[in-house]
Structure 1
Amino acid sequence: MDATFSVEAWSAYAAGLDDQAAWCEWARAPWLPSGDAMPALAEMAPMQRRRVERLGRAALQVAWHCQQDDEGDLPLVFASRHGDLDRTHRMLAELARDEPLSPTQFGLSTHNAIAAQYSIGRMLHGNYLAVSAIRATPEAAVIEALGLLADGAPAVLVVVYDDAVPVDYDAFVDEPDTLHAWAWRIVAPRQGLPRLSLRAGEPAASGALPHSLEVLRFFLAGDASLPGLDGGGWTRHA
């Protein structure tokens, strides 16, 4: 699959990167964000916000910044390699101690729970999807969005987010990890907007960043391409 699209708006969150100017500077000399900062997510009602933990807050914050209040039917694609693994890990530890599980915590641990909390918080009535595809999760999200555009959606909001995995899983980690989230509002190719194309394939080997942040860096830095394996990867068009 090889398809071209434009990014109409974007937002991103990580510790130490507070606005778009900071992100654009980071893209020119990237580093792995770290720290315990967490978005305020002031847009969400407090009673709902208290159910959303650190990863969810990052994802919802960037989504909120890319969607207007009058777009209740905007299709959404939420994409995370691991999802809310910290919450799941805590529940597994409770099971190991023969402790009862909280139905609420279980419901909030499912892979679509963060997207659902966003939909409820903004009283949306459009389609939303939750996807995961190991390191190729950003590619899977954009491919889903392109399918929605082909079906007639005027725009699709893609939200990509992940966090550092619990230390018990360190032996399985195959790329750097840290809390981060970014959102693209994707539309059909449009004059005056960045035009990108994606050829589906396996991402190249990890470097100093998780692949999902490498995709964002490519977009913000204005690079001509981000090659993957077997001819896959991202291309920017003039």
Structure 2
Amino acid sequence: MSDLHWTIPVARWSFWPAAASVAPDVGFIEPMMRRRLSTLSRAALKVAHDCAADVPAVRVIFASRHGELRRTTDILRDIDASRTVSPTAFSLSVLNTMTGIFGIVRGDRTAASALSAGAETLGYALLEAHAQYATDASTPVLLVYADEPADAAYGTVEDEVEGGALAILVDASAQTGRLECARTAGTRPADATRASFASQSRAVQHCLDRRTASQWRGNASDWQWCWHEGA
């Protein structure tokens, strides 16, 4: 794949760390549905609501390497133990669980999509957000990235993700700055020292929070992000 370079207009963003001492506030969701949500979906819905609560219609891109894998793993364990599988657990175990709930809660039928691309999931989600908005800027695009490490049953996962959720509202009409993104092809040398950030989510969050450049190095490519104030 050739090198890529693009910029997205950022209206606002929100981050929820996995290590937070309190649970995400999802009080905008009715109690019965709220009780059924996983920790991952709660974090994703919280940051999504932070960014788009006052936006009438928004296209959603949900990105996650593992998605609701932990819920799926619990279902597989129930099957292995000959226990009854909860229909609710099954219906909430798909990758794009969050997008369905978000649309239902908002009464918003605007298009939604979900993607997963291994350790580079967030980077390609930012590219998808750019492509969708560049094609049609009439409706804002909400990128929601949420992930958590895989269950220990799966063993060691190379370039494992960190927990947490990040949402970015892409909208030029309300932008506060521009996020410059770049992907350059290149194979990591066997003895190469890892970049400053262990995951893409940590690098992007650092760039947005500190307004400074950040980088993440994968096995086959390098990713860089840079913040620019204003329009």
**TM-score when scaled to structure 2?**
0.82
Match of 1:148 in 2: 132
Match of 2:62 in 1: 78
Identical positions, percent: 30
Give the CA deviation at 1:210: 3.1
Give the CA deviation at 1:130: 0.9
Is it true that 1:198 corresponds to 2:181 in the alignment?
Answer: yes
For structure 1, which runs of at least 5 residues remain unmatched after alignment? Answer: 16-33
| Cα pair 1:175 1:207 within 8 Å, conserved | no
User: Matches of 1:191 and 1:159 in 2, distance apart?
Assistant: 18
Cα offsets for 1:164-219 (capped at 9, x unmatched): 322223422533633x111111134x797322222235798466643212211122
User: Matches of 1:191 and 1:200 in 2, distance apart?
Assistant: 26
Match of 2:191 in 1: none
Specify the SS of the correspondent of 1:213. helix
Relative to structure 1, is the Cα distance of residues 171 and 231 closer, same or farther in structure 2, using a 3 angstrom cutoff?
Answer: closer
Give the CA deviation at 1:133: 0.9
Is it true that 1:133 corresponds to 2:133 in the alignment?
Answer: no
What residue identity is the alignment partner of 1:171?
A: T
User: Matches of 2:26 and 2:162 in 1, distance apart?
Assistant: 22
For structure 2, which runs of at least 5 residues remain unmatched after alignment? Answer: 189-193
Specify the SS of the correspondent of 1:212. helix
Specify the SS of the correspondent of 1:172. coil
Specify the SS of the correspondent of 1:109. coil
What residue identity is the alignment partner of 1:113?
A: T
2:224 is aligned, of 230, 233, 238, to 233
Is it true that 1:213 corresponds to 2:196 in the alignment?
Answer: no
| Cα pair 2:203 2:216 within 8 Å, conserved | no
User: Matches of 2:207 and 2:228 in 1, distance apart?
Assistant: 13
**1:84-95 → structure 2 map (5 Å cutoff):** 84-95=68-79
Larger strand share, 1 or 2? 2
| Cα pair 1:66 1:185 within 8 Å, conserved | yes
User: Matches of 2:35 and 2:27 in 1, distance apart?
Assistant: 11
Specify the SS of the correspondent of 2:168. strand
Is it true that 1:60 corresponds to 2:49 in the alignment?
Answer: no
* Two-structure CA RMSD over aligned residues (Å): 2.7
